[in-house]
Amino acid sequence: MKHSNLFFIELMLVLLFFSISAAVILQLFVAADNRQKQSDRIEMAVICAQSVAEAFSVSGSLADCVGVVFGGMACGDDIHQLEVKLNDDFAAASDGNIILSLSENEKSTQAGTLSRLEMTFEYNEEEFYTIGCTSYTPRQGGVLDG
Amino acid sequence: MNGTNKSATSRVLNTFAGMLLFLLFTICMLMMIGAAAATYSRINSGYETTYGSAAAIRYVSNKIRSSDSCKITDDANGIIVTNGSLITLIYMGSGGLYEKNVAIGGDVSQSGGELIIEADALSVIDNGGLYSIIVECGGDRTSVLVRKG
């Protein structure tokens, strides 16, 4: 009986040790999975930002740029501050859980207009990537006009 | 007699309880191994598709940006970029993207190229002042816009 009790106590201790180890290892795997998903999101956000920047440099206006890249699926009352909802593939979707906030600042000079576009990507209300780009539109006739 | 029966019963119960604990331990370990394998498989496949398509997109878009001029092939499955006296053809071949470098006036047919990256499909569309490059890799579709010129 004594041997049997000792055996069970030892067995319980072994099980306790393995349970704690399993919990720690599972936490590590969950963290690795989350890190991989975050890394994928950042990678896709960079590619999406590249498309937006290229379209912005060609069109010179935020509204036209959003129309080209996302098919006009943006919301916002101000044409200089728009939001686009993206799905996990970073395509525009009304029920997307990734939010791209676009903010345009224009500065007019004698030679032309300098437009700065700030892009911010959010997932679950947490910002995970932000980048800015600039587009310069020279005025017709430039400095030589009056 | 009764004492003997009780002793035998308690021995059987002790053995059964021990085996049950081992079984419980084995099941927990197998579940943990299954979860770990599933997580690793998901991470691995996600890495291959994301970084495969992202690398292909970046390669093609960098080629377009660094070129003097660019033209889409007739089947929209490739691009022909010109840099000085060198013409580079990037096209979709069997199993991936292929690249072929020829001098001006050389053969720009979609054969004889070197495999640069694995992909399922490539299409390049003229979108006004922009090229739209779409790459499919492992079921995932990634697209990017690149300015012309």
Closest alpha carbon to B49 in A91, A38, A100, A44 = A44
Closest alpha carbon to B137 in B15, B20, B50 = B50
Q: Do A89 and B35 touch (CB under 8 A)?
A: no
Per the structure, the complete domain to which residue B130 belongs is given by 42-147
pLDDT of A145 higher than 60: no
Chain B CB contacts of A26 under 8 Å are 32, 35-36
Establish if B22 belongs to a structural domain.
Answer: no
Tell me the average pLDDT across A112-123: 91
Q: Residue B145: what pLDDT?
A: 92
Establish if B5 belongs to a structural domain.
Answer: no
**Which stretches in chain B have pLDDT values below 50?**
none
Band (A143; pLDDT cuts 50, 70, 90): very low
- Number of domains forming the structure of chain B: 1
Q: Where are the domains of chain A?
A: 37-144
Establish if B19 belongs to a structural domain.
Answer: no
Kindly report, residue by residue over A63-105, the tens digit of the pLDDT: 888 888 888 777 777 778 889 999 888 888 888 899 999 999 8
Rounded Cα gap, residues B14 and B3, in angstroms: 16
Tokens at A84, concatenated:
């686009």
Rounded Cα gap, residues A72 and B8, in angstroms: 80
Task: Report the residue of A29, A35, A88, A119 to disrupt the B interface, i.e. the one with the largest count of B CBs within 10 Å.
Answer: A29
pLDDT of A119 higher than 90: yes
Q: Residue A146: what pLDDT?
A: 38
Kindly report, residue by residue over A38-55, the tens digit of the pLDDT: 988 999 999 999 999 999
